[in-house]
């Protein structure tokens, strides 16, 4: 029986109607914010669902945000924290995953189990003690404290996914390297790492989103003006300008756009990562 025989016209229409309806629900709020951030105050209230036209187009909200808020600074902080944590999670995670998947040693299984605890138990529950630790190390209100926390938070899942992938790297290749006299470090960095690049990209996307979006740790560990991340900065800015609708909508748009652009670049990678079985 051919596949086309299974699909009837009315059924196809029903399926698409359901999916389009849910797509609208998913995208509508984002759309409303983006269009209204570019309208004048009157237009925002009079016709919230209309696109900005020649007489309603107004960027006053963005002007307020860019002159009153420290968004370039917040953005820089978020970039530093996300990129550095991500790099540490990928390098340290891949190293540990390699040790667990490549060598047989006593305690290998227990070490794997120990490192997997963090997948299920959220790091947030240790906040009280983390704050004490950071205060004792004079790291409160530094980006370093956030980087350390996010690295610890990202490692368990990264190690879990990467070690699954590293088991699939051919032994012949590594053994050929060993016969040629390459050190274990050289084998890892030049032979194995390039081969697990697709898995690294998947881990990168999974690690990046929660770090960029986190509100809890910036609020607790680094709330000072000079160390605010975009998420916390937008939160406090909106709190102060809550009645200035143009500014609120503009700051929301500014917070949405970078993530949306990143998502468009990485979405194929993300979806391929999830469907390739890394998380099953």
Q: Does 111 bind another protein (CB under 8 A)?
A: yes
SS3 content of the chain, % helix, strand, coil (to 5): 80, 0, 20
Footprint on residues 35-94 left by another protein (CB under 8 A):
44-45, 48-49, 88, 91-93
Q: Does 2 bind another protein (CB under 8 A)?
A: no
Sole binder of another protein in the list 38, 86, 115, 222 (CB under 8 A): 115
Sole binder of another protein in the list 123, 169, 191, 201 (CB under 8 A): 123
Sole binder of another protein in the list 26, 110, 179, 265 (CB under 8 A): 26
Q: Does 189 bind another protein (CB under 8 A)?
A: no
- Which DSSP state fits 52? P
Footprint on residues 211-230 left by another protein (CB under 8 A):
212-216, 220
Q: Does 133 bind another protein (CB under 8 A)?
A: yes
Q: Does 25 bind another protein (CB under 8 A)?
A: yes
Instruction: Return the axis-axis angle of helices 9-36 and 245-273, rounded to nearest 10°.
Output: 140
Handedness of CA 29, 31, 34, 39 (dihedral sign): negative
Report in angstroms how near the CB of residue 146 gets to another protein at its nearest. Answer: 11
Stretches 53-61, 69-77, 178-186, 195-203: which one binds another protein (CB under 8 A)?
Answer: 178-186
Decide if 216 contacts 127 (C-beta within 8 A): yes
Sole binder of another protein in the list 13, 19, 83, 87 (CB under 8 A): 19
Sole binder of another protein in the list 35, 38, 81, 99 (CB under 8 A): 99
d(C-alpha 165, C-alpha 146), whole Å:
28
Report in angstroms how near the CB of residue 55 gets to another protein at its nearest. Answer: 20
Based on CB atoms, which residue is closest to another protein, 68 or 127?
127
d(C-alpha 27, C-alpha 29), whole Å:
6
Handedness of CA 197, 199, 203, 208 (dihedral sign): positive
Q: Which residue has the tokens 């998913």?
A: 26
- Which DSSP state fits 181? T
DSSP 161-220: HHHHHHTTS-HHHHHHHHHTT--HHHIIIIIIHHHTHHHHHHHHHHHHHHHHH--HHHHH
Q: Does 192 bind another protein (CB under 8 A)?
A: no
Report in angstroms how near the CB of residue 59 gets to another protein at its nearest. Answer: 19
d(C-alpha 271, C-alpha 276), whole Å:
8
Decide if 130 contacts 221 (C-beta within 8 A): yes
Q: Does 144 bind another protein (CB under 8 A)?
A: no
Decide if 86 contacts 207 (C-beta within 8 A): yes
Sole binder of another protein in the list 234, 244, 246, 250 (CB under 8 A): 234
Q: Does 191 bind another protein (CB under 8 A)?
A: no
Based on CB atoms, which residue is closest to another protein, 115 or 204?
115
């Amino acid at each position: 029986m051919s596949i086309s025989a299974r699909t009837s016209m009315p059924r196809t229409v029903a399926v698409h109607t359901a999916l389009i309806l849910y797509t609208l629900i998913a995208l509508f709020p984002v759309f409303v914010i983006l269009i209204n951030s570019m309208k004048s105050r009157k237009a925002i209230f009079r016709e919230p669902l209309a696109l900005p036209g020649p007489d309603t187009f107004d960027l006053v909200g963005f002007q307020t945000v860019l002159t009153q808020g420290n968004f370039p600074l917040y953005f820089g902080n978020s970039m530093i924290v996300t990129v550095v944590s991500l790099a540490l999670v990928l390098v340290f995670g891949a190293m540990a995953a390699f040790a667990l998947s490549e060598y047989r040693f006593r305690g290998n299984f227990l070490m794997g189990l120990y490192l997997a605890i963090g997948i299920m138990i959220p790091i947030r529950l240790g906040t009280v003690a983390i704050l004490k630790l950071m205060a004792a190390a004079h790291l409160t209100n530094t980006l370093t404290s956030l980087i350390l926390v996010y690295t610890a938070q990202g490692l368990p899942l990264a190690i879990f996914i990467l070690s699954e992938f590293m088991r699939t790297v051919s032994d012949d290749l590594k053994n050929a390297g060993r016969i040629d006299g390459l050190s274990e470090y050289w084998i890892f960095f030049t032979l194995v790492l390039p081969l697990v690049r697709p898995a690294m990209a998947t881990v990168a996307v999974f690690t990046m989103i929660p770090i960029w979006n986190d509100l809890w740790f910036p609020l607790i560990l680094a709330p000072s003006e000079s160390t605010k991340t975009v998420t916390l900065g937008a939160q406090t800015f909106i709190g102060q300008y809550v009645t200035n609708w143009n500014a609120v909508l503009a700051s929301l748009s500014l917070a949405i756009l970078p993530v949306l652009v990143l998502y468009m670049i990485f979405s194929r990678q993300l979806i391929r990562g999830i469907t390739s079985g890394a998380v099953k």
